[in-house]
Structure 1
Amino acid sequence: MVTIGINHLGLTVRDLDQTTAFFTDCLGWVLLAREDSYPRTTVSDGTCRLTLWQADRARAMTGFDRKTNIGLHHLALEVPSRDALDELAAKVRNWPGVQMEFNPEPMGTGPRMHTMFSEPGGIRLEIIWPAS
């Protein structure tokens, strides 16, 4: 193998401040960098690093459609326990602008569990408890 993993994932978002706040204030991630002249932030949970880019507000924005857009389908994040999944899902569900797709439920026949939602900026996220 020549590569050794993902360095970061870059995502274009509808509202940089709103999405950055979701990751830092709701999910508890750390803000690593901010560059207002090329509007972007970098956030991390200590394992995963995301660069969030402000969409060009001077142009018409098109919301993401996982069934017709080429590229990102969703971003899946892992939690260490079923309790952590339930607690985070409750927090996310009550976060302003979040659109829940479904609450925690078994993946297939279980015991793995997951929840899906779109954060306020439109990025589709999945939270998984792998039950391992």
Structure 2
Amino acid sequence: MTLVETYGIHHVRLTVTDLDRSKAFYRDVLGFHIAAESPGSPDDPQVRTDPTQLYGGVVFQTNGMLFGLRPVAAPTDRFDSERVGLDHLSFKVSSVDDLTRTETRLSEAGIEHGEIIRLEAFGIAILSFSDPDGIHLELTAPL
């Protein structure tokens, strides 16, 4: 028995540099649905430190979990997957056809992305790309 019995991930929150840009990316490009937005401005220092105001950010409902954006990073900061912390975040999709549709949508939006890679040994296919802050994202589909 483990010390703490968990049964899944409740939510993930990413720190971003520009809330409007990142919100548009996740909402308009990936089609995530907004579940809640901060009633306050992320420019207000009190809002940026208040969890009841979502730190000035936004929360999406997707993949059966909550996914949030917190706008507290300096405008010049950029993600680095080779530093301690997050390497990448992968969202499940239903099929390889979903990967193909997303690949087309990313191309149409001018967003750089990798090729769809079939990882037969793991029974999945993946499509990699990055968000506006350079945070590495991946979509994963069963084969």
TM-score range for the pair, normalised by the shorter chain length: 0.7 to 0.9
1:107 is aligned to 119
Percent identity over the alignment is 29
With the length of structure 1 as denominator, give the TM-score of the two structures: 0.82
User: Which AA in structure 2 matches 1:75?
Assistant: L
Larger of the two Rg values belongs to structure = 2
Where do 1:83-98 residues align within 5 Å? 83-96=97-110, 98=111
1:28 is aligned to 31
Runs of 4+ in 1 over 4 A off after TM superposition: 108-111
User: Which AA in structure 1 matches 2:127?
Assistant: T
The alignment status of 1:7 with 2:10, answered yes or no, reads yes
Q: 1:109 to 1:4 in 2, by over 3 A?
A: closer
Give the count of matched residue pairs: 126
The alignment status of 1:66 with 2:62, answered yes or no, reads no
CA distance in 2, matches of 1:124, 1:6: 19
Q: 1:3 to 1:115 in 2, by over 3 A?
A: same
The alignment status of 1:116 with 2:133, answered yes or no, reads no
Q: Counting helix residues as a fraction of each chain, which structure ranks higher?
A: 2
RMSD: 2.1
